[in-house]
Amino acid sequence: MCPWHLRTGMRGPGICPPSCSILFIFLQLLSCSISGNGKADFSVFAPDKPLLAMVGEEVDLPCHLSLNISAEDMELRWYRDQPSPAMHLHKNGIDVQDEQMAEYQGRTTFLSTRLAQGQAAVRIHNVTALDNGTFHCNFKDGIMSAETTLWLRVAGLGSEPKIQVGPGQSEGVWAQCTSEGWYPEPQVEWRDLGGQSLPSVTNLSASPTTGLFSVVSNVTLLDRDVEGLSCSIISSLLQRRKVAKSYLPGRTEDVIISGEAHTGAWKPVSLACVFMCTCMCVLCVRVVP
Ligand SMILES: *[C@@H]1O[C@H](CO)[C@@H](O)[C@H](O)[C@H]1NC(C)=O
Ligand SMILES: *[C@@H]1O[C@H](CO)[C@@H](O)[C@H](O)[C@H]1NC(C)=O
Ligand SMILES: *[C@@H]1O[C@H](CO)[C@@H](O)[C@H](O)[C@H]1NC(C)=O
Ligand SMILES: *[C@@H]1O[C@H](CO)[C@@H](O)[C@H](O)[C@H]1NC(C)=O
Ligand SMILES: *[C@@H]1O[C@H](CO)[C@@H](O)[C@H](O)[C@H]1NC(C)=O
């Protein structure tokens, strides 16, 4: 810590007059406050932009000292809201498990290859939605410590959406689109085949165990002219979307376009259509001389 003659109150070199001694002590005090135990004062840095991680993958949270000095003998702590229990604690050269949050046990690795240059990182494996948010890393050397903040943004791309179609009230048609595993909350967009946006009612719910969002979205169509529709689930964070398309049943055009895809019930209709078309063609040929 401080030079021993300061702690014991001893005077400076004997040749100094009293005023010089006071100045000497003042200078010693100043240098004492700047450099705790002989090492210079340090700060800790981390990326200032949020890090992005996909659900189920891994991510490194790096921190480094402002100076090129070793952090091998320091206590290095990564934590969420409160310092203890920590997300990861590395002390006296080993990882300390007793002070680790349950949700991070067995899920972190301390990366120490550049510890001698004051750099370290904690790798989180199998990232979950609950990892989204703020982290702090604290480097402690004796009584001196410094820390900084890191931000992690977690993204989850959900399952392929599925559309179910059924008869609605009166003449209408009802369609429901479902998909799960999204993070953060996705957007939902319904369109008809002409690209017109359709009004819908959407329910997003987060799983209490994984934090991932499920989507259930409904549209009701009263307009008999809509031949088909698409449901898109959109992650604005990833700038990606997943789309499902459905052709609505019960429309003659639909039956002709995708003939084989329809079940027996529609066969008489398509046969009737083919018959009518053939008749009209024959008529046309006869009328035109
Ligand atoms: C840090 O210091 C070590 C020696 O102490 C040196 O080899 C290394 O190049 C330095 N790194 C940087 C980034 O200055
Ligand atoms: C990853 O985390 C999820 C949710 O916590 C869990 O269901 C899954 O088994 C984990 N996968 C691995 C490889 O540990
Ligand atoms: C995820 O964390 C970031 C900061 O890392 C924060 O800005 C964002 O609001 C969080 N998202 C959710 C859905 O909590
Ligand atoms: C939305 O979903 C949640 C969970 O599945 C359910 O409890 C809630 O009743 C639903 N709300 C509506 C309006 O469907
Ligand atoms: C969607 O429609 C189904 C069936 O009518 C209904 O049970 C469900 O609550 C609706 N969900 C929303 C979000 O409106």
The pLDDT mean for the chain works out to 80
Q: Report how far ligand 4's centroid is from the alpha carbon of 98 (Å).
A: 40
Compute the average pLDDT of residues 210-224: 90
Question: What tokens appear for 112 in the block?
Answer: 């120490």
Q: Find the mean pLDDT for residues 133-149.
A: 97
Report yes or no on 235 lying in a domain.
yes
- In a shared domain, residues 102 and 139: yes
Between residues 254 and 108, the one the model is more confident about = 108
**Residues lining ligand 5, judged by CB closer than 6 Å?**
176, 201, 203, 216, 218
Among candidate residues 154, 171, 193, the one where a domain is terminated:
154
Domain boundary among 154, 177, 193: 154
Indicate whether 90 belongs to any domain: yes
Tell how many helices (H) and how many strands (E) occur in the chain.
4, 17
From 131, 154, 177, give the residue that closes a domain.
154
Q: Within this chain, do residues 48 and 142 fall inside the same structural domain, yes or no? A: yes
Are residues 143 and 50 both part of a single domain? Answer: yes
63, pLDDT greater than 80: yes
In a domain, 253, yes or no: no
Is there a domain that residue 80 lies in? yes
Say whether both 50 and 132 belong to one domain: yes
> Are residues 149 and 202 both part of a single domain?
no
Span 237-261, average pLDDT: 66
Q: What is the pLDDT of residue 250?
A: 54
Predicted local distance difference test score (pLDDT) of residue 167: 82
Q: What ligand 3 atom has the least distance to the C-alpha of 154?
A: 1
Q: What is the pLDDT of residue 221?
A: 86
The stretch 137-146 carries a mean pLDDT of 96
Range of the domain at 187: 162-248
- CB distance 68 to 170 below 8 Å: no
CATH of the domain at 223: 2.60.40.10
CA atoms of 96 and 140, how far apart (whole Å): 15
Q: Name the least confident of 69-73, 112-116, 117-121, 268-272.
A: 268-272
Strand 51-54, strand 144-155: pairing: parallel
Kindly state whether residues 84 and 124 are assigned to the same domain: yes
**101, part of any domain:** yes
Of all protein residues, whose CA lies closest to atom 14 belonging to ligand 5? 201
One domain for residues 168 and 214? yes
- Claim to verify: residue 28 and residue 70 sit in the same structural domain: no
Residue nearest to atom 9 of ligand 2 (CA): 126
Whether the pLDDT of residue 10 is over 60: the answer is no
Whether residue 230 has pLDDT greater than 80: yes
**How far apart are alpha carbons 39 and 50 in whole angstroms?**
31
How many structural domains is the chain composed of?
Answer: 4
Q: In this predicted structure, what is the pLDDT of residue 40? A: 62
User: Mutate which of 163, 176, 177, 204 to test ligand 5's pocket (most atoms within 8 Å of Cβ)?
Assistant: 176
Nearest CA to ligand 4 atom 3: 205
Predicted pLDDT of residue 248 = 78
Q: Is residue 254 part of a domain?
A: no
∠60-61-64 over CA atoms, to 5°?
Answer: 120
pLDDT for 247 equals: 87
Pick the atom of ligand 3 nearest to 134's CA: 5
Residues 48 and 17 placed together within one structural domain of the fold: no
Task: Tell me, yes or no, whether 110 lies in a domain.
Answer: yes
Ligand 1 atom nearest 68 alpha carbon: 1
48 plus 149 within the same structural domain: yes
* Angle of CA points 129, 130, 132, to nearest 5°: 75
| Percentage, residues of the chain above pLDDT 70 | 71
Q: Is residue 210 part of a domain?
A: yes
Indicate whether 244 and 170 sit together in one domain: yes
Model pLDDT for residues 82-121, shown as the tens digit of each residue: 999 999 999 999 999 999 999 999 999 999 999 999 999 9
Q: For every residue of 256-275, which 3-state class applies, written as one string?
A: HHCHHHCCHHHHHHHHHHHH
Does 276 have pLDDT greater than 80?
Answer: no
What is the structure's pLDDT at 199?
94
Q: Which residue has the tokens 């946006």?
A: 197
Q: Is the pLDDT of residue 3 over 90?
A: no
